[in-house]
Chains A and B, each alone.
Chain A
């Protein structure tokens, strides 16, 4: 029997990036807000202290900051014809556990999606014709436009203290920035990070190959910064331990480094850790949520009544909770009906390793220290002759030169082990760089999330089942990007280079981008989306869903800027529309 807790105005499921933004804004609106976090509380000092955080074995090789599959996992299969099995190790994506969520262990890569990304179906049909989109490709417009989101992208960027060069300010192209980006109201708050040797090589080679390279926007501070909440950040030290690690120097944007100092002291905010939300409770009509149930570390079950329930967990967990709670209609791949679990997507990557004579000092890095080109992202180029939908950026990243998992390997022909391998690694660790391609993945009829019919979690609920594979559209798109990357590699006039195409089936084990999307797709049409353009459930009006779970398909960019912008967008609508008149913000 669940113990009933004192009601609150708002309960947030999870305490990562989106929950922190919502908590800060909704407490400012005077509401009593509670965040329920399944992991532990963590703060910069002592948990991320630079005296111990640069431990690759503990944090990268042994997943120190991530969800433990022994406690919570999912089942996976490539296609509906297979039987999905529970995963005992996750590698392809790394859900966090603990306060700050994945905002603690991300790199800080800060990309806005293109204006055309938000209207991908209507734009593609208009430019290339309706037949250009394959029948089983279930992409859709977001129901929100780039222009709608611009002020909220801006808000998130200024929260984080982003370093970079704007490419387009109010329609005017800016020298040195990304000429393809949508117009932004003002420059980034901080100048770009210092360059690494690898990024200068990429810059020159890309120019030589006829492209327009630019420094990637980084939520790693190039200078000390004070954000609009008054929270201070230090200056990045280029230690090379961002992704998979937490920042001990106050220089990578995270909930801890940008929001916690002003949020945690508030009387109308509280959080509970080691509390795993197991379902959203609905009233007898099924149209209104009454709160959530959660289980604490001792296995005790609690009922937390709330007027507003906001799902801020990792992408798949939001979809899982929706399915377990009976909110919305589960997606059925046979009929194509239902939207909860629909349009799951990942991303597709490849690389070209470049071997040179000069020393690159790869260990001096920052999570988002990179130089990129955007000629082949979204609809920045003519897809007609290419015959696929989507694209991606190409970049040389200097994120670090960590010894266990982060070296670019050795040229073709190197033995896979033994003295020959050691010699090649020794020679090339300092004399190599990699050009990465970061490609979009479209949503397809057969890529989805549902409840597993066989396997259950520690709370007795069905595990989430992921059915996903790369499609021909993505494999061809990735090859196209990889060939362009090889052009840049060649322009570096290296000793040699090695092209690593992405081929074959998707595997859940190797790390690629960690960027899961979909499962709770947003949109303007209630028959194809689970939440409306304000991220409000079509079916239960006092449930909102945050995070990349609402992306209707995946773009060729890292998702966090869009996740943050959508959170600010949604909370603005909650404050200014929903609270004044609780009910559906869009009539179905």
Chain B
């Protein structure tokens, strides 16, 4: 499941976007090409992640999405006329995707990622609607959001939009290649990568100027940066590494875990090679941040490192090897790994406590898994182990503490994760 607790955010406009709309599709019809284009975009946007509940009918909504402000329930987007979007016209649907406004004129909450979807072309939005219209209609009423006043008043979203939302289609950057622009369109549009990977402000909106620099996802997961930072970004990854990761769930360096494993399984593995190449080209062009380096990073004390090293030898070397390099394409390397060296140790702590499964994809169907260590190692031991891993083999990141581990353990063992 992909609850997106801190997903109420959006990206600032990179250029003057205005409201320039592409021409509406003259007659979308239900042609095979349009349906297939919509099906592809629905995969690229991973719509099912939110709009299909665990054990629920596809796209019938009802999934609880935790936010820092309260719980919102995803909506029914099947073509049921009473409870879904069967009565929505193409312009109705476009207004929702582009402006975040429902058929009845009321605001949608920005847990629905319209701050990204606004960039989609009118043709693409129409194709998505065409595809959704082919789904089996499901009669399932939407649940009202559980938000405190004044957020419970949908008009409040207008104020949020005024501060944080800049509608407008994606504008091609003529200085960049067509491939780069396609990548940007996917990452900043349908893919809405920044919803998890960009730091957010106190209103849950993406921070200006911090694009894809890594973010606390919630549930004790940290979505690492996608910039060219060497330590906590993709600086050491080749474009091929990025493509392999998104297509198969792992590459020679690492493997997807946690929420990203689900994204690969449900979404990115289905993207075409050309689109994955485009995404890689775009991500590789994001510069390193000025915070790159070791500023503000503390070192663990020697005793902790020594205890951590012993724990590592006993518990981890079987798969990750003595040198932390893992087995390429099989067990992830821990060296130079952005999830390991992220500014917060949450993800690596989470994986040790709960275990993890590499997504089973058509390219790599195995679903290799790591066992949970929560019953075997206590908080002090995991703190030492994490601090060691974050500072061994050339890694450098702040140590963690037993108290921090305890917080992650609480998430892992008592739900919310």
Contacts and interface: CB of A to CB of B under 8 A. Distances in A.
Physical interaction between A and B = yes
Interface of A: 44-46, 49-52, 224, 229-235, 237, 239, 248-250, 261-262, 265
22 contacts: A44-B369, A45-B355, A45-B357, A49-B371, A49-B372, A50-B318, A51-B371, A51-B373, A224-B329, A229-B365, A230-B363, A230-B365, A232-B366, A234-B319, A234-B330, A235-B330, A237-B317, A237-B318, A249-B319, A250-B368, A261-B360, A265-B360
B331 interface: yes
B375 interface: yes
Interface string B344-378: 00000000000101001001111111111101100
A232 B328 CA distance: 11
Nearest to B315: A51
A51 B364 contact: no
B203 interface: no
Given A45-B371, A46-B355, A231 B366 contact: yes
A51 B375 CA distance: 9
Contacts of A44: 369
Contacts of A52: 376
Contacts of A229: 365
Given A45-B355, A46-B372, 17 more contacts: A45-B369, A46-B355, A49-B372, A51-B315, A51-B373, A51-B375, A224-B330, A229-B365, A232-B364, A232-B368, A233-B330, A235-B330, A237-B318, A249-B318, A250-B330, A250-B366, A265-B365
Interface in B307-352: 315, 317-319, 327-331
Q: Which 10 A-B pairs have the closest CB atoms?
A: A49-B371, A45-B369, A237-B318, A232-B366, A224-B330, A261-B366, A261-B365, A51-B371, A224-B327, A51-B376
B372 A51 contact: yes
Contacts of A49: 355, 371-372
A421 B260 CA distance: 57
Contact of B318 (A46, A231, A239): A239
A51 B376 CA distance: 7
Nearest to A45: B369
Contacts of A250: 330, 366, 368
A233 B363 CA distance: 15
A249 B319 CA distance: 7
A262 B371 contact: no
A262 B318 contact: no
B371 A248 contact: yes
A229 B331 CA distance: 19
A339 B367 CA distance: 44
B70 to A, nearest CB: 34
Contacts of B370: 45
Contacts of A239: 318
B189 to A, nearest CB: 30
Contacts of A265: 360, 365
A220 to B, nearest CB: 13
B371 A232 contact: no
A456 B369 CA distance: 43
A50 B320 CA distance: 13
Contacts of B330: 224, 232-235, 250
B371 A234 contact: no
B376 A235 contact: no
A235 B320 CA distance: 11
A80 B396 CA distance: 74
Contacts of A224: 327-330
Nearest to B328: A224
Nearest to B317: A237
A50 B319 CA distance: 10
A245 to B, nearest CB: 14
Nearest to B376: A51
A242 B261 CA distance: 30
Given A224-B330, A249-B318, A50 B365 contact: no
Most buried by B among A46, A49, A249: A49
Contacts of A249: 318-319
B317, B360, B366 interface centre (most CB from chain A within 10 Å): B366
Contacts of A230: 363-366
Contacts of B329: 224, 232
Nearest to B356: A45
Contact of B371 (A50, A231, A235): A50
A50 B376 CA distance: 11
Interface in B360-401: 360, 363-373, 375-376
A430 B371 CA distance: 31
Contact of A234 (B327, B360, B372, B375): B327
Contacts of B364: 230, 232
A239 B327 CA distance: 17
Contacts of B376: 51-52
B316 to A, nearest CB: 10
A450 B174 CA distance: 83
Given A51-B375, A224-B329, A261-B360, A234 B368 contact: yes
Nearest to B371: A49
A248 B370 CA distance: 9
A129 to B, nearest CB: 54
B258 to A, nearest CB: 15
A232 B329 CA distance: 9
Contact of B331 (A234, A248, A262): A234
A388 to B, nearest CB: 45
A261 B369 CA distance: 12
Contacts of A261: 360, 365-367
Nearest to A258: B366
B226 to A, nearest CB: 26
A230 B361 CA distance: 11
Contacts of B318: 50, 237, 239, 249
B319 to A, nearest CB: 6
Contacts of B328: 224
Nearest to B327: A224
Nearest to A227: B366
Contacts of B367: 261
A49 B355 CA distance: 10
B54 to A, nearest CB: 18
- Most chain A Cβ neighbours within 10 Å, of B318, B355, B375: B318
A224 to B, nearest CB: 5
A51 B319 CA distance: 12
Q: B328, B368, B375 — which one has the most chain A CB atoms within 10 A of its CB?
A: B368
B138 to A, nearest CB: 21
A196 to B, nearest CB: 18
Nearest to B363: A230
A177 B72 CA distance: 66
Contacts of B355: 45-46, 49
